[in-house]
Amino acid sequence: MSEALQLLWTDYTLRNVAAGTAVLGAVSGALGCFAVLRRRSLLGDAVSHAALPGIVLAWLLTGSKAAPVLVAGAGITGWLGAAAVSALARRERIREDTALALVLSVFFGAGLMLLTVVQGRPDASQAGLDTFLFGQAAALVERDVLTMGAVGGVAVLVLALFWKEFKLLSFDADAAAVAGYPVKLLDHLLTLLLVVAVVVGLQAVGVVLMSSLLIAPAAAARQWTNRLGRMVVLAAVIGAMSGALGAAVSGLAPGIPTGPAVVLAATAAFVVSLLFSPSRGLVSRRLRAAARDRRLRTEGDAS
């Protein structure tokens, strides 16, 4: 373990990877809180899948594989996917779950088709899809980390600027509407932030696992506090630690890819929180129930 920590500081690649995944974990942890609280946890999954056609199109139209170009393309179709989900889910007989599943699979299929057409070969695995599916954290260089930090920083800044509005929207949207806040606009803005968090993370952890980075740190943080401010900060810390830990583990054990390692670290943080959080945790709940039983029994004997 100490060897791993030392490597984190001395090894250039590993330091970049760890810094990148930590930044990503912090940003998605903070923004994921709102998705989790608003019962939109799975929107991130739809957005990350919907990003694929955007990446291919951006590459096709500009001929460039530079990260900012691809991220912009991913953002556009990712946002379209989110918009499609909310447009569909408003309709009769189409529930949110159906809309999510439909959008994520159809957009992803469209991306897959585009990619194979562009590459001129029907075999997707040779077409460079792996990097997109599972991310390529090991290829992160210092500039990538700085870009991720800058974009994520802006997203967090927007979150801080509209803190009061987002808080009201998340806990009592009706009250926000009555008070005259532009609820629809705020909703779009929050979705946009989610899209930003997703596309920033795609490069590092990939499509399939990105949604977990939005959910697990937030769900873990939720167990420790009932205050939104503390929850967001805690989720960011848990996300950052999971990112760094995952990177360290995969750096030490070369067989383990970074994305899955980060996800497993974040999931472990959630499991620990679920069991041992002092107020809500399953273990402390059980202990309190046992103590209450004992007290009732002794009081019963006394009287």
Partner 1 sequence: MTPQTEIQLIAVAAAAACALSGTFLVLRRMAMIADAVSHAVLPGIVIAFLLGGGLGSPLLAFGAALSGVATVALVEALQRTKLVKEDTAIGLVFPALFAFGVVLVSRYADHVHLDVDAVLLGELAFAPFERMIIAGRDVGPRALWIAGGALVLNVAAVSVFFKELKLVTFDPALAAALGFSPLLLHYGLMTLVSATAVASFDAVGLVLVVALMVGPAAAAWLLTDRLAVLLPLAAGLGATSAVAGYWLARWFDASIAGAMAVCVGLVFLLVFSFAPRRGLLARRRMLATQRREFAMTLLAVHLAQHEGTVDEADESRLASLHLHLHWDEDRLRRTVRDGLNRGWLRREDDRLLLEDAGRSAARTVFARAWPQGTGTTPHRI
Please tell me whether residue 3 binds partner 1 under the rule CB under 8 A: no
**Among 16, 21, 41, 136, which residue sits at the site for partner 1 (rule: CB under 8 A)?**
41
- Measured distance CA(28)–CA(151) in Å, rounded: 12
Taking the complex as a whole, how short is the minimal distance between the CB of residue 186 and partner 1, in angstroms? 20
Stretch that binds partner 1, among 20-28, 187-195, 213-221, 229-237 (CB under 8 A): 213-221
Please tell me whether residue 257 binds partner 1 under the rule CB under 8 A: yes
**Cα angle for residues 269, 210, 58 (degrees, 5° grid):** 160
| Largest pairwise CA distance in the chain | 85
Please tell me whether residue 263 binds partner 1 under the rule CB under 8 A: yes
Nearest to 190 by CA among 233, 157, 158, 227: 158
**Among 4, 11, 69, 134, which residue sits at the site for partner 1 (rule: CB under 8 A)?**
134
Across 165-194, b (16+ Cβ under 10 Å) vs e yields bbbbbbeeeeebeeeebebeebbebbbbbb
Please tell me whether residue 50 binds partner 1 under the rule CB under 8 A: no
Please tell me whether residue 94 binds partner 1 under the rule CB under 8 A: yes
**Among 67, 69, 112, 233, which residue sits at the site for partner 1 (rule: CB under 8 A)?**
112
Give the CA-trace dihedral at 27, 32, 33, 38, to 10 degrees. 150
Please tell me whether residue 39 binds partner 1 under the rule CB under 8 A: yes
CB atoms within 10 A of CB 294: 10
Nearest to 195 by CA among 211, 217, 172: 211
| Contact status, residue 225 vs residue 234, Cβ threshold 8 Å | yes
Please tell me whether residue 85 binds partner 1 under the rule CB under 8 A: no
Question: Under rule CB under 8 A, which residues in 156-195 are in contact with partner 1?
Answer: none
**Among 13, 15, 69, 98, which residue sits at the site for partner 1 (rule: CB under 8 A)?**
98
- Measured distance CA(80)–CA(50) in Å, rounded: 8
Nearer to partner 1, 60 or 146 (CB): 60
Taking the complex as a whole, how short is the minimal distance between the CB of residue 285 and partner 1, in angstroms? 9
| Contact status, residue 218 vs residue 44, Cβ threshold 8 Å | no
Please tell me whether residue 121 binds partner 1 under the rule CB under 8 A: yes
Contacts with partner 1, residue ranges (CB under 8 A): 36, 39-42, 44-45, 49, 88, 91-95, 97-98, 100-102, 104-106, 108-117, 120-125, 129-130, 133-134, 208-209, 211-212, 214-216, 219, 222-223, 255-257, 259-261, 263-264, 267, 270, 274, 280, 282
